[in-house]
Structure formats: C-alpha cells, structure tokens
Amino acid sequence: MSQVVLPGSVIGVLGSGQLGRMFAIAARRMGYRVHVLSPDDDTPTGQVADVEIQTAYEDLDTVAQFARRVAAVTFEFENVPVATAEVAARYAPIRPAGQVLHTTQNRLREKTFLRRAGLPVTPFAAVRTAADIGGAAAEIGLPAVLKTASWGYDGKGQARIATLEEAERAWRSMGSGEAILERWIDFESELSVVAVRSAQGELACFDPITNLHRHHILDVSSTPADVPPHVASAAIEIARAVMTHLDVVGVLCVEFFVTRNGDLLINELAPRPHNSGHLTINAHVACQFEQQVRAVCGLPLASTEQLRPAAMVNLLGDLWAGGEPHWDRACALPDVKLHLYGKREARPGRKMGHLTTLASSAQAAVARAIEARRRLTAEATENFR
C-alpha cells in the first residue's frame, strides 16, 4: 500500500494557473500546505499557496530543491516538460506519473496508445513531412482537422481543411512540424467524463457533462448530460478503461464526441482537472480538486454524487472590453456562484473566471448561467430582478 501523505504535509504543484489555484484552495481546506513552481509570479496559484517559486521548468536544480521540500507533487497542466517531472520524481511521488504526462503531451502518442488499447478514437494519421499529407488525406478522407502533435489547446494549433492545398498551407503555418490529421466528425454533442483513481487502484467517475464550445474554447458545461442513459454509462466505462490502461493516479478528463448515431469517440485526454469539471465545486459532494488532493496524498476517494443539476459558463477576457464587469448584477441572483482566478490582465479569449448555477434541471441551470453572464455587461438602465 502506498504511503499516505497526511494533512499538515506540503504538496508541490508544477504550474500556476487557475487549476492549481482551485487545487490549492481544496488542499488548504483539508489542512495541507502548498508550494508552487512556475516561470511566473503573482500567479493564480501563487496567490493562495504558502510558497511560490518563480523559475523556468528547465531549471532542474531548483526543481530538485523544490521536490525535496514537499511530500508529493502534482501538475496543473500537461505541458510541464517530462524532464522536469522526472527530476521531481527522484525526491517525491509525482501523481499522475511522468509516463502519463509523456503520453498525453503528444496527440499522436495519445491516439496511438488509445487505439492500441482498443478504445474508440477518431480516425487519424501522422503527418511529419509535406510528403505525408497526401497519403494521410487519402487514408482519413476530407474534410479533416489538422492539428499540431504537441502544445495545442483551446483550438490553437489546429485547422479544419477541405482540400490538399488547404492542408499544405495549414501545415506550413503550424511550423511544418509533427502533426496529426483527424477525420472531421459531424457530431451530435460533446461530452466529458472527469475520472479519478487512487494509488490503491480505487476508481470513481463524475457523471458525464455536456459541453458547448465557442471559437474552440469551452463556453458552457452542464450536468446531468443531455444523452440517453446507455450513452452516459458507456462514457463512464470508457473513462474507467482509460484510467486503468494508463495507470493514472490522480484526476484525468476524457473528452468525447457523440456521433449522430450515438457512438462515442475519444477526442482527447487531459491528465488533470478539467474546465468542464469546475461545476463540481458547487454541485457535488466532493469536487474534482478535492478528489485530486485525495489521490495525490493516498487518501480514500470521496463521493462523486451530484447534489443538484448545474451549469457553468466561462468568463473570458472579452467581458472586460468595456471596463470592469458588473459583478453585483450577477451576484444578485442567489443561485449563482462567482469564481475569479486572480489574473492581472484580461485579454480576449483568456479564461478569467467562471459562473456556476444550480437549478431544478440542467436546462434551467444553463439558462440561468447565461443570463447571469449577460448581466455582467448589460446596460445599467435594464431592470434586474
């Protein structure tokens, strides 16, 4: 049995964005101390951590010193260099392990791993040279989506292509590096399942979440998901299989396409808490971040039971275009929860926070959340009740 890291101990976090912030809040609520390391300072995580260390991830001597001072390490985004995770693992258990990070950092490695495990993925082909594009297109068919193999998120590093000429231009615009061509899926909806696995192999999954994207960025999430029960059950079983095959200790999110005929295809994996799972903070017995703390520290997992239907809307930097949003107007709705991330600069497309609403149904929660967000920038002359 793995050693338990008891409350009062120090947990180290690699990465310092909003996911680390919400993890640190959950950890401190449970009595842990938190140290964070990233290239930035006054970060969302650093603002609530006990210690914030600013250094490059490639500064392996400082990473080693950081890991010596903590009882366990986790990461809050998947683009931490594998070498950084390997050095940290010499001095403290890192969860999920570096091999999970290595697999999920690269779309080709990730999709190949899933396909070999017999799990349903979007059809894909590798593109490493200009000569590969024609063969990949013939194998996958057009239209398709060309994506960089590494470092893409929120729609960055990908393009929908309908012709070979478009594919060649897109590949050059992405730097002519390793890429993946995926079949275009005319999907019915998008789902995510946030799963957690303990060091003892205990598995738990939150029920599926329906996701709507805008400009490739998650816009609205809601649960219970608007899918038939057999689809929801299948999504959970696939997520459980992914966790077992990858040998994950910690939290991982599986993102799915639901096709027009009800089939599930894995779009991508996130080896950490996920944007769609933020609503678990208010809607569930224990949120995804508490589950991450428990898994990282070797504690038993908590319940994933949902207390009420819920929805979440992202708050992007665009909302600040006309000045500070009117927080009082959204907060005037008693079933709205405001979460801001402490980022110093609001930029278009940048995730600055989110709103969560609870209601009698997922549909009612979505409507309430969208209304609350609308109020942030609505004219003061409107009558808010």
In the chain, what are the domain boundaries? 10-94, 123-183, 187-375
**Contact call for residues 52 and 36 (beta carbons, < 8 A):** yes
Q: Cα–Cα distance between 252 and 273 in angstroms, integer?
A: 6
Mean pLDDT of the chain: 94
Helix (H), strand (E) at residue 125: strand 124-127
Cβ contacts of 111 within 8 Å, gap of 6 or more: 121, 122, 124, 180, 182
Q: What is the mean pLDDT of residues 132-160?
A: 85
If you classify domain 10-94 with CATH, what class do you get?
alpha beta
pLDDT at 329: 96
Q: Cα–Cα distance between 310 and 283 in angstroms, integer?
A: 6
**Contact call for residues 258 and 185 (beta carbons, < 8 A):** no
Q: What is the pLDDT of residues 299-351, one digit of tens each?
A: 999 999 999 999 999 999 999 999 999 999 999 999 999 999 999 999 999 99
CATH topology of domain 123-183: Dna Ligase; domain 1 (3.30.1490)
Q: Cα–Cα distance between 320 and 250 in angstroms, integer?
A: 35
Q: Cα–Cα distance between 364 and 62 in angstroms, integer?
A: 49
B/e letters for 225-257, b = 16+ CB within 10 Å, e = fewer, are bbbeeebbebbbebbbbbbeebebbbbbbbbbb
B/e letters for 310-339, b = 16+ CB within 10 Å, e = fewer, are bbbbbbbbebbeeeebbeebbeebebbbeb
Cβ contacts of 205 within 8 Å, gap of 6 or more: 193, 194, 195, 196, 236, 239, 240, 304
pLDDT at 154: 58
Phi-psi region of 67 (alpha: psi -120 to 50; beta: other; left: phi over 0): alpha
pLDDT at 192: 98
Q: Cα–Cα distance between 383 and 381 in angstroms, integer?
A: 6
Residue 97 C-alpha from the chain's centroid: 17
Question: 3-state SS of 6-56?
Answer: CCCCEEEEECCCHHHHHHHHHHHHCCCEEEEEECCCCCCCCCCCCEEEECC
β pairing state of 33-38 and 144-148: unpaired
Residue of 378, 315, 373, 369 whose CA lies nearest to 343: 315
Q: What CATH number was assigned to the domain covering residues 187-375?
A: 3.30.470.20
Phi, psi of 125 (to 5 degrees): -150, 150
Phi, psi of 229 (to 5 degrees): -55, -35
Q: Cα–Cα distance between 74 and 82 in angstroms, integer?
A: 13
Q: What is the pLDDT of residues 67-98, one digit of tens each?
A: 999 999 999 988 899 999 999 999 999 999 99
pLDDT at 271: 96
pLDDT at 83: 94
Please identify which residue in the block is written with the tokens 């927080």: 327
Residues 160-163: contacts with CB under 8 Å, at least 24 apart:
160/184
Q: Enter the tokens of residue 45.
A: 């995580």
Phi, psi of 38 (to 5 degrees): -165, 170
pLDDT at 1: 43
Confidence band of 381 (pLDDT split at 50, 70, 90): very low
Q: Cα–Cα distance between 93 and 365 in angstroms, integer?
A: 39
β-partners of residue 210 are 191, 222
Residue 10 has pLDDT above 60, yes or no: yes
Q: What is the pLDDT of residues 210-262, one digit of tens each?
A: 999 999 899 999 999 999 999 999 999 999 999 999 999 999 999 999 999 99
Residue 380 has pLDDT above 90, yes or no: no
**Contact call for residues 375 and 329 (beta carbons, < 8 A):** yes
